[in-house]
Structure 1
């Protein structure tokens, strides 16, 4: 993995409590009752003040503003075909933040993916707030509120992530945006107040295809990445 400065941006093992919190949400998933599609929005500057000290926030350690080293570009070339739009986008991101590594990003993103969908199934607003932009958080909470008002609950079990790839990377000013396609499998059902299944299935494994976008301001002192857009990939 190299030195600490090269550790994946989703490095949650800063303390034992972080590990315990992560393990507590694994094995629970939702995919049938996803919040409405969120359009990609520029993150509100005040978001940078939320959750900085929260161990569940996804972060990317930075090495300062030095120029990108050759091995950083080599990691990009190994991940995306040189000359492709994805490769060019990742190179621009590395120039802005030399500690970024696409392979490590994907590993961390899948961890965050599980945490977010599990928190949504459980109605865990605190965890969602630390991982989502303000706009996406509002959409998730609205869907949770509606579900709870109907007396419904979600029962879900994570089977596994079949595939996760970066499909787009770009710099918008100082903001780095990275989009992934995630294909997962889960068992999920929504139950009404009487315990009857109203959506999904309690035993059937369902394939879920998602496209999620994360962002971070590379010049901000806040190292946190947050989800700014979700979309079901048909």
Structure 2
């Protein structure tokens, strides 16, 4: 039986140790490689699902922030809300006065005022033609009420009747606005197509023609005490436009 010399046995032991070291470091390299791939080896960019989810989250965030942007756009540098008058026709000269009125009366709304003014235009014209003093009373300032009352009484004394028909109001425009103390005043330009006819007691036509429409342009002034709980505006003056 052959016996290996001591030098040969020592050489084999060294080879086994080296092999074990190689296997150890090879395993370690594989382990490290796997960890690096997990951390760094993902595809560059986002998957379609991740992109869609991110876009959805951005859309929700924009929608949630929209009211705040709208509120911010309605504020001046001091942070005080501004009143929007973009829904009505307004002369530039009226803006400061409208802002002052809105500041003094938080319930003031230019669009609602215009609607009320248009309604008042038809109500006042109709009540004056009928001679309905009671209907005119809450709509007119005292000085205008006095003038209308005199005209109605003079017409009645002659036995005359007045018929007025408003075909349409073509223009309603806020022309001027002001606030003097508690008294707010707004001037409105009306352009309407109207037919008038006055008849005597025997039915004969004194003036006008109810079948003929004529354009009428006037400036109506409305006023109101903003410290009063009564929200109604009264007609304080009428003049040709």
- How would you bin the TM-score normalised by the shorter chain? 0.5 to 0.7
User: Displacement, 1:156?
Assistant: 2.4
Are residues 128 and 188 of structure 1, via their aligned partners in 2, closer, same or farther at CA, if it must alter by over 3 Å?
same
CA distance in structure 1 between the aligned counterparts of 2:88 and 2:150, rounded to whole angstroms: 37
User: Displacement, 1:192?
Assistant: 1.1
Equivalent residue number for residue 144 of structure 1:
152
Of 133, 137, 140, the residue aligned with 1:129 is 137
Provide, for residues 78-129 of structure 1, a one-character-per-residue CA deviation record: whole Å limited to 9, x for no partner: 65779x4311111111111122121221111000110001000000000101
Equivalent residue number for residue 126 of structure 2:
118
Q: Which segment is superposed worse, 215-224 or 147-156?
A: 215-224
CA distance in structure 1 between the aligned counterparts of 2:166 and 2:95, rounded to whole angstroms: 32
CA distance in structure 2 between the aligned counterparts of 1:81 and 1:108, rounded to whole angstroms: 16
Equivalent residue number for residue 172 of structure 1:
180
CA distance in structure 2 between the aligned counterparts of 1:77 and 1:122, rounded to whole angstroms: 37
Equivalent residue number for residue 217 of structure 1:
225
TM-score by length of structure 1 reads 0.65
- Is the CA contact (8 Å cut-off) linking 2:196 and 2:208 kept in structure 1? yes
User: Displacement, 1:77?
Assistant: 5.5
CA-based RMSD of the aligned residues comes to 2.0
- Is the CA contact (8 Å cut-off) linking 1:154 and 1:189 kept in structure 2? yes
- Is the CA contact (8 Å cut-off) linking 1:192 and 1:198 kept in structure 2? yes
TM-score by length of structure 2 reads 0.63
Give the unaligned 5+ runs of structure 2. Answer: 1-78
Match status 1:76 vs 2:110? no
CA distance in structure 1 between the aligned counterparts of 2:93 and 2:211, rounded to whole angstroms: 41
User: Displacement, 1:164?
Assistant: 0.6
Provide, for residues 129-187 of structure 1, a one-character-per-residue CA deviation record: whole Å limited to 9, x for no partner: 11111111010010011111111101222211111111000001111101100011122
Report how many residues are paired: 163
CA distance in structure 2 between the aligned counterparts of 1:90 and 1:192, rounded to whole angstroms: 45
Match status 1:199 vs 2:207? yes
- Is the CA contact (8 Å cut-off) linking 1:76 and 1:91 kept in structure 2? no
Provide, for residues 56-87 of structure 1, a one-character-per-residue CA deviation record: whole Å limited to 9, x for no partner: xxxxxxxxxxxx962xx3413665779x4311
Give the unaligned 5+ runs of structure 1. Answer: 1-67
Are residues 81 and 145 of structure 1, via their aligned partners in 2, closer, same or farther at CA, if it must alter by over 3 Å?
closer
- Is the CA contact (8 Å cut-off) linking 2:185 and 2:222 kept in structure 1? yes
Q: Which has the higher contact order (CA 8 A, sep 6+)?
A: 1
Are residues 145 and 207 of structure 1, via their aligned partners in 2, closer, same or farther at CA, if it must alter by over 3 Å?
same
- Is the CA contact (8 Å cut-off) linking 1:119 and 1:128 kept in structure 2? yes
CA distance in structure 1 between the aligned counterparts of 2:162 and 2:228, rounded to whole angstroms: 37
Runs of 4+ with >4 A deviation: 77-82
Equivalent residue number for residue 192 of structure 2:
184
User: Displacement, 1:216?
Assistant: 0.8
Are residues 141 and 79 of structure 1, via their aligned partners in 2, closer, same or farther at CA, if it must alter by over 3 Å?
same
Equivalent residue number for residue 102 of structure 2:
94
